[in-house]
Amino acid sequence: MEPVPMLLAMTYRAMGDQFHDRLRQIGLEPLRPAHGYVFRFLARRRATTVDIGGHLGVTKQAAAKIVAELDEWGYVLREPHPTDKRAQYVTLTTKGRDYLKFADNLWTDLENEMAEAIGQDTVATIKAGLAAYLQHAHGEDQPGLRPVW
């Protein structure tokens, strides 16, 4: 059997693939995992493109491309930065916040399907164990959801 980190990575990938397959089935914009990391990052703050690039671990240019796509689709709003004329603040629009709620419901659906496959008690044990490990590893300073490229 594979080591736990590999199983976690493969499970996350399998669930992520199912998530994006469902987005395609309902006809949403061609959202990719990188977009999801931006949604989660912006859910708690407004940020500049440089901030978003740093969070994603990509260049400012790559982050700007992602932000431009999300802006074109109406998920984010770009506003002038009050002190840096070259920068813009990026925030989620109502459509972006609604998408996050939709995504959370879709993740819940996938978690329920996992529970059907392995049992609700097993899923509850996994969740409790992972939360305990994150508390052990990071204490109260929990890292946000970030991509691993």
Structural domain boundaries, residue 47: 4-138
- What CATH number is attached to the domain comprising 67? 1.10.10.10
| Residue 66 in this model has a pLDDT that exceeds 80 | yes
Establish if 147 belongs to a structural domain: no
> Does pLDDT of 148 surpass 80?
no
Total number of domains in the chain: 1
- The two three-digit tokens of residue 123, written as one number: 């899923």
Task: For residue 86, tell me if it sits in a domain.
Answer: yes
Q: How confident is the model at residue 149 (pLDDT cuts 50, 70, 90)?
A: low
* pLDDT-based confidence at residue 78 (cuts at 50, 70, 90): very high
Q: Answer whether residue 51 is part of any domain.
A: yes
pLDDT for the residue numbered 144: 77
Task: Evaluate whether residue 146 is within a structural domain.
Answer: no
> What span, in angstroms and rounded, lies between the C-alpha atoms of 83 and 72?
25
Q: Do the domain assignments include residue 103?
A: yes
The predicted model scores a pTM of 0.87
Of 19, 9, 10, which is closest to residue 111 (Cα–Cα)? 19
**Cα–Cα distance measured from residue 103 to residue 19, given in angstroms and rounded to the nearest whole number:** 8
pLDDT at position 85 is: 85
| Residues 149, 129: Cα–Cα separation, whole Å | 25
Strands (DSSP E) along 9-120, which ranges? 47-48, 76-80, 88-92
> Whose structure tokens read 């070259």?
86
CA distance 138 to 149: 21
Q: Is residue 149 part of a domain?
A: no
Mean pLDDT of 86-113: 96
In a domain, 29, yes or no: yes
Establish if 148 belongs to a structural domain.
no
